[in-house]
Amino acid sequence: MKDIIRILIAPLVWLASFSAVYALHGLICGHGIDGTVFGFLSLPRMLMGAAYGAAVLVQLGLIWGLHSERFSSPTPFVRFVSRATGWVGLVAAIWSLLPTVTTTYCL
């Protein structure tokens, strides 16, 4: 059972972070949150950037954990697959959440 969790943890965390970041985007746009922070950065842009950064940092933490001796699997196949899905989760988080930081946040 632990091997299945090792393999699926990164894609599941990506799914949760994807849902959370775009839910935050919907809340920001739906409630008309606006304003400036630090004179040049808007509050919605800062919130979306922080959510993006947190999602990427969590994925990096998962990769670190999957590469550590404490959390890695004793079997080579599961170790390889879990690390591969960890990297896939990181790339998916970077790629799919990047538009929330680089594009306009509300139309």
Taking the whole predicted model, whether its pTM rises above 0.75 is answered as: yes
Average pLDDT over residues 77-81: 92
pLDDT at 57: 97
Whether the per-residue pLDDT at 16 is higher than 80: the answer is: yes
pLDDT band at 71 (very low <50, low <70, confident <90, very high): confident
SS (H, E, C) 18-59: HHHHHHHHHHHHHCCCCCEECCCEEHHHHHHHHHHHHHHHHH
Average pLDDT over residues 31-55: 84
Using one digit for the tens of pLDDT, what is the confidence trace for 19-28? 999 999 889 8
